[in-house]
Structure 1
């Protein structure tokens, strides 16, 4: 069996609860240890960030992370701050970051091939104060659904529980934000992503073809009569593209890219979803981007990469 490079001590932080126990189903601990890596698992006593920091203190030269976007962002922050390369293993439910890196979501263990002959890459990180995000920060109906008991077990039920007040115009994001088309007061949904989402073609809807543009993607849905069940598909239907690829829909949506975004308001806090984790944030909320902040080791075979012609559209 192949052994990981001996010049670098590798520690993989693994969340055994992510993806409904995906790490165990795919024998990720056994596979990683067979490649010479140490595997440290999260627990109620030790979270992912603490384990990653301790691994660096004890001499880890390469960090790995097996879990969902929330676990990945915690370890990515440590890797970026300490100059370590990161190996990402998609062991969560959605795995947006791993998907956009082209990793094989059907067989998470294939990402461990990066330990043998990984290709280096550098990508951006979104930042929210001192917290890193690899996918997005959301406000509004999607963020509120995260706060519902049993969200991860039954997401449709959670959305159904919070959507009626938005549909009736009784609930909104208690904030305002400046856009290239003016200030929006009390939007229905705000979605700020680490690099912009692709919205032009159905097959690749919501993908990020690049994670190194140095820009945040911003989607704002204005307060309206009805909250769409699928924001990205709704946007594709009504978004008007301009020559720079940004756009606005007068009856609902505004989309653009920027290196920084601020939400202002008089409310004491906003409920938010940060890489799928529920948080309560004080206003103002300031999001920014750290270009090229994270070094990665990626397997050479990445079956999830979109074809070149798709990335040009």
Structure 2
């Protein structure tokens, strides 16, 4: 945070802070102290008060700006309140991955730099995803990652937990117990299904999983079809996604598309999912929609910015 931001007397602002995010990043970066130094109030989540309830209370009290310091799950919860209340949001990337802040072009290595937006932020509007009445800023995932989120101890040992789930998917023995309609027809029981708030870039390895825009008004869909060859090999097919037209002449099994709505349906009444990294059980059919320009942001003026989207490699290169 810059020295000039000290006691800048921002509009009536509340920063909702999750002290556990990022393994304690708020404390390591002194975010509470620095936020209060600007004149903003800080309200910390607890077992009795989650991020959404604290944000709703701040909105009811007539606050003019909401801030959120935490991971993407915490950001998503406060963003939903900000959008419904018509309040601008300041995102302080204090989580582990901070995908939303990264795709906004923010400096995720220095969370405190985002506090400058409380005093003199650049206004911007971005889209929000919606599924089953819940907002998502990044994505809804079905499959191995969603299953891992429901495992006891996932938060304490993420890699180990995911490693215990992934082999069954890698072998093609597990998949998503649902169907989804794509431009290439209905895909039944895919290995992986991801619906994102604006499309992800997957054409080049360096920027794999980046979003170069958050205001296209479209969802992104990614389906990895269950392989039909023997033995099924998820890793082999993943390597094929960046090699056109595929391995040994076989078609690439990944389907990507953009749409304002994507519906996941099937015979089962419910399906496990991860919404911005939080475990959720969804009723089927689950309809994903986009809310164009639903979220108003205040971004720090000094930030790395969003890189230009690279062109996909030409075939045969």
Give the TM-score normalised by the residue count of structure 1.
0.91
Which SS does the other structure have where 2:214 is aligned?
coil
CA shift, 1:253, in A, is 1.0
Which SS does the other structure have where 1:228 is aligned?
helix
Structure-2 residue corresponding to 1:199:
202
Alignment of 1:1-313 (within 5 A): 2-3=5-6, 6=9, 8-224=11-227, 225-228=232-235, 234=239, 236-238=241-243, 250-306=251-307, 308=308, 310=309
Classify 1:158/1:250 alpha carbon distance in 2 versus 1 (closer, same or farther; 3 Å).
same
User: Partners of 1:82 and 1:94 in 2: how far apart?
Assistant: 27
> What do the CA deviations read for 1:60-102 (whole angstroms, capped 9, x no partner)?
1000000011000100000000100000000001100000011
8 Å contact kept, 1:137–1:191 = yes
Larger deviation, residues 113-122 vs 169-178:
169-178
8 Å contact kept, 1:209–1:311 = no
Structure-2 residue corresponding to 1:244:
none
Larger deviation, residues 144-153 vs 28-37:
144-153
> What do the CA deviations read for 1:24-69 (whole angstroms, capped 9, x no partner)?
0000000000011100000000100000000011111000000011
Give the TM-score normalised by the residue count of structure 2.
0.90
Structure-2 residue corresponding to 1:246:
none
Q: Which runs of 4+ in 1 moved over 3 A?
A: 1-7, 233-236, 238-241, 310-313
Classify 1:38/1:157 alpha carbon distance in 2 versus 1 (closer, same or farther; 3 Å).
same
Classify 1:81/1:31 alpha carbon distance in 2 versus 1 (closer, same or farther; 3 Å).
same
8 Å contact kept, 1:68–1:90 = yes
CA shift, 1:201, in A, is 2.4
User: Partners of 1:167 and 1:198 in 2: how far apart?
Assistant: 22
Aligned CA-pair RMSD: 2.0
Across the two proteins, how many residue pairs are aligned to each other?
302
* Unpaired runs of at least 5, structure 2: 313-317
Which SS does the other structure have where 2:84 is aligned?
helix
CA shift, 1:184, in A, is 0.5
